[in-house]
Structure 1
Amino acid sequence: MGALLSVFTVGQLACCCSSAACNLAFCGLQSCFSSIVSRIMYAMMLFLSTLLSWIMMSPWVTEKLKEVPFCKSGSGYSAMCIQAVGYLSTYRILFAQTIFFLMFSLIMLNVKSSKDGRAAIQNGFWGPKFLVLIGLMVGAFFIPEADTFGQVWMYAGLVGGFLFILIQLILIIDFAHSWAESWVEKMEQTESRWWYAGLVFFTLLHYIAAITGYVFLYLYYTTENGCGLQKFFISTNLIVCFILSALSILPDVQEAQPRSGLLQSSLITLYTMYLTWSAMNNSADNCKPSIFQHGNDKTFDSMSLVGLGIWFACVLYSSIRTSSNSQVGKITMSERILMKDTSSGNSDGETGGIVTSNDNEEDGVTYSWSFFHFMFALATLYVMMTLTNWYKPDLKSGNLNQNEGSMWIKIISSWLCCLLYIWTLIAPIILPDRDFS
């Protein structure tokens, strides 16, 4: 436990300096908006908590904790030290992070502009906020296990992870739309075919990667006379991806939804292939290869690395996204207000700070503050499940086992993702009186 407290002490020292460091780093730019700085700071909180959770799960920390006199209890650990490492430490650290974001989601409900008194809390006081987060983490380690915390929080992680998977799809679609529009606009302005060639190249790259992935899924996750459920998952998702790709280039869809295209469909196809692979990786039968496992580590494999990569990209993208007219803005019901560079520049809410950032939210917020924190709470639950490979905790042995529930969560998510994207294609045709521009 001494090792654990020392980690928190070092983290506290670093966090107290983080606000000034972030402001100096991002406000060195000519156009520095407090809305972007704040989102990046919250993302930094999440990344640091993820890093700490990963470190606490490592075998190295477990071995070091054995050497602490407080933890020696006969031939084994004391009960408190067992809860300070392994999957329980990840559950407790990210439980505190989730509570932190949910608390801020409630505090920031119905904020309309930075003139609201709560803006100072949202955009400043980073030192106290880090201290509150650290205090929640320390307090989480005193929650009694009582054969319930791990089990209940695992189910909460399944639900939160499921919802964040859907948010990931929205962010991926938004990124693909922005990507395609940006390159098409540059192609029209410069009359250079290189931009068009780039769109074609990445579209083909995504489809080739997705088809290759499906082929490997057939090779490694199915057998000639068995694994019928796996064959059903792969075949169904492959057919659905073909359908949504064909829909995106139909003349009626192109006329009603000019933003649609194969680049977006290729990304959705690749993401669906990943969800299919991830779902089958959590199956409890013998239709799963062991070639992707790292030694005897049962809680972190290649699938987890890919999942963390996608999670990292989506969290970073949601933190720096500035367009208020994006589909994410529509879904979160954010005000459609253009970003503007105010020369006057108001303080970002940090009392006594050296550097200030421009306040671009005096007339209205550029994103929903409450929904942003709620999304980060879901992202925390998603990364918690990813670090533990979506496994089910065995409270008696202290190990993690295969979780059939996570398999169905992911495969259903893949179906909902495809249906949601198909709906974005056909909705303007079915509901012609509504504005989907």
Structure 2
Amino acid sequence: MGACLALCSLASCASCLCGSAPCLLCGCCPSSNNSTITRLVFSFFLLMGTFVSVIMILPGMETQLRKIPGFCKGGTSIPGIENQVDCNVIVGYKSVYRMCFAMTCFFFLFCVIMIRVRSSKDPRAAIQNGFWFFKFLILVGITVGAFFIPDGTFHDVWFYFGLVGSFIFIIIQLILLIDFAHSWNKAWVENAENGNKCWFAGLLSFTVLHYALAIAAVVLFYIYYTMPDNCTEHKVFISLNLIFCVIVSIVSVLPKIQATQPYSGLLQASIISLYTMYVTWSAMTNNPNRKCNPSLPTGQVQWWDAQGIVGLIIFLFCTLYASIRSSSNTQVNKLMQTEEGGGSGGEGVVGEDGIRRAVDNEEESVTYNYSFFHFHLCLASLYIMMTLTNWYKPETNTQVMQSTMPAVWVKMSSSWLGLGLYLWTLIAPLIFPDRDFS
């Protein structure tokens, strides 16, 4: 989908260079609502930067670059040509930090520019929904400049920016999963109520699967990440999150909760429980205590471990879902600063030239908060930086990566806050009966 949008935006460059909404569409594009197309293209920019970071962190990349004559300093040279590029900077964790720094700055810039845009009639909406070629040039320019930042304390300072940003993004991921589970549960329950009981069987099957995976994860955590006379922190983490997941699961099916939220159920709770166990696992893999962390590498840092790959998959899903979501969950929309949606698709408008164009569906009001959307992508850039580097802290003097306890506490506290937010979406209508949570 992202590649499709890239081709579409390039093919329609003549219209989008200086134009605003509505942007041109290709026949292959899945939606014709201008708001959805814009979010998808911005998400494609993020995924493109992620793809570049993944390439530059691959094992052996520096070795391959040094084989290029006249490219790397200290590498193979051509007589009369001086090697100019420091290949130590454009590969490994340094390249990831600089690439993600550039993406963070890019999205933060648009976050500031788009504050308080209310409709597509605002002149700034034209910048949001058009000028794609110039936006791409700005991103490239910031990226090139980022690779000229001196090492110094840059990586050490940016690591803590990554910790804070990733903490918030993990919570946003959980909110998106709540929204996805709510929409999934509502759609399948409505289908089942229309006469086909197989949808109930499907809901039950997926709910049981999610809980089975969560329980299996808890058992494996106790086996591999605890010891009888050690690893007290891990025992507390696993036990607390297990108790919290049981609590939210029970609350989600209480009669009073069901009366105010008929589409609340165990499917949402099972997905949240499974995600919580993933975050718990991810946190324990960052414990520098080797006795309690069998995932800790014994030699060189391993960029691609299991929890990092799972985290990348969840990130890709949540990023794309945030770009096309059109939720009817009022509480989640308030948390995500979006409007209640009525569907992401449209038929489009066919111009006199026969080309289908996107529908400007934001003339009255925007369907999502422009500034918050860019803030979300800004945080996503920091999360990708931490995920691709396994949340390891760079040491300025030794130029190596070390696992640290702050990363453990950031992940665990984000999981607890996320569970608290999910619990709030369940009990808020009971605490404030005068408010409309329908």
TM range (shorter): 0.7 to 0.9
Which residue of structure 2 aligns with residue 433 of structure 1? 434
Q: Give the conservation status (yes or no) of the 8 Å contact 1:20–1:353.
A: no
Partner of 1:198: 202
Q: TM-score, normalised by structure 2?
A: 0.88
**What RMSD in Å do the two structures reach over aligned CA positions?**
2.9
Q: CA deviation at 1:297?
A: 4.5
Structure 1 residue 344, shift from structure 2 partner: 7.8
Tell me how far apart the structure 2 counterparts of residues 316 and 294 of structure 1 sit (CA, whole Å). Answer: 36
TM-aligned CA deviation for residue 128 of structure 1: 1.3
Aligned residue pair count: 417
C-alpha spacing 1:101/1:29, structure 2 compared with 1 (3 Å): closer
Q: Which amino acid aligns with 1:264?
A: Q
Deviation at 1:105, TM superposition (A): 0.8
- Partner residue, 2:191: 186
Q: 1:31 to 1:101 in 2, by over 3 A?
A: closer
Equivalent residue number for residue 10 of structure 1: none
Equivalent position of 1:45 in the other structure: 45
Change (3 A) 1:202 1:316: same
- Match of 2:173? 168
Distance 1:283 1:129 in 2: 40
Q: Which residue of 2 aligns with 1:300?
A: 304
Aligned amino acid, residue 377 of structure 2: F
Give 5+ residue unaligned stretches, structure 2. Answer: 14-22, 77-82
Please report the TM-score for the alignment, with normalisation by the length of structure 1: 0.88
Q: What's the counterpart of residue 415 of structure 1? A: 416
What SS does structure 2 have at the residue aligned with 1:304?
A: helix
Q: What SS class does the counterpart of residue 408 from structure 2 fall into?
A: helix
Query: Which residue of 212, 218, 221 corresponds with 2:216?
Result: 212
Where 1:82 maps in the other structure, the secondary structure is coil
Give, in whole Å, the separation in 2 of the partners of 1:291 and 1:395: 24
State the Cα distance separating 1:74 from its structure 2 match: 9.0
Q: CA deviation at 1:419?
A: 1.4
Once the two structures are superposed, residues 35-73 of structure 1 have per-residue CA deviations (whole angstroms, 9 ceiling, x without a partner) of 111111111111110010111112332112323535334
> Structure 2 vs 1, CA of residues 293 and 194 (structure 1 numbering), >3 Å: closer, same or farther?
farther
Deviation at 1:298, TM superposition (A): 2.3
Query: C-alpha distance in 1, partners of 2:421/2:363?
Result: 34
> What amino acid is aligned across from residue 251 of structure 1 in structure 2?
P
Alignment map for 1:193-342 (pairs within 5 Å): 193-290=197-294, 297-323=301-327, 326-336=330-340, 338=342
Deviations 1:5-37 (A, max 9, x none): xxxxxxxxx979753279787654685111111
Partner of 1:120: 126
Separation (CA, whole Å) in 1 of partners of 2:57 and 2:345: 44
Query: Is the contact made by 1:180 and 1:263 (CA closer than 8 Å) also made in structure 2?
Result: yes
When structure 1 is superposed on structure 2, of 209-218 and 281-290 the one drifting more is: 281-290
How do 1:31-70 residues align onto structure 2 when only pairs under 5 Å count?
32-67=32-67, 68-70=69-71
Per-residue CA distance 1:184-222 (angstroms, 9 max, x = gap): 111122x11100000100000000000001100001001
What are the equivalent positions in structure 2 for 1:385-396 lying under 5 Å apart? 385-396=386-397
- Whole-Å separation in 2 of the counterparts to 1:192 and 1:106: 49
Report the residue type matching 1:389 in the other structure.
N
Kept in 2, the 8 Å contact 1:324–1:366? The answer is no
Match of 1:8 in 2: none
How far apart are the structure 1 equivalents of 2:345 and 2:400? 53
- Over the matched positions of the two proteins, sequence identity in percent amounts to 50
Indicate how the Cα distance of structure 1 residues 433 and 324 shifts in structure 2: closer, same or farther if over 3 A, else same.
closer
- Which structure shows the bigger proportion of residues in helix conformation? 1
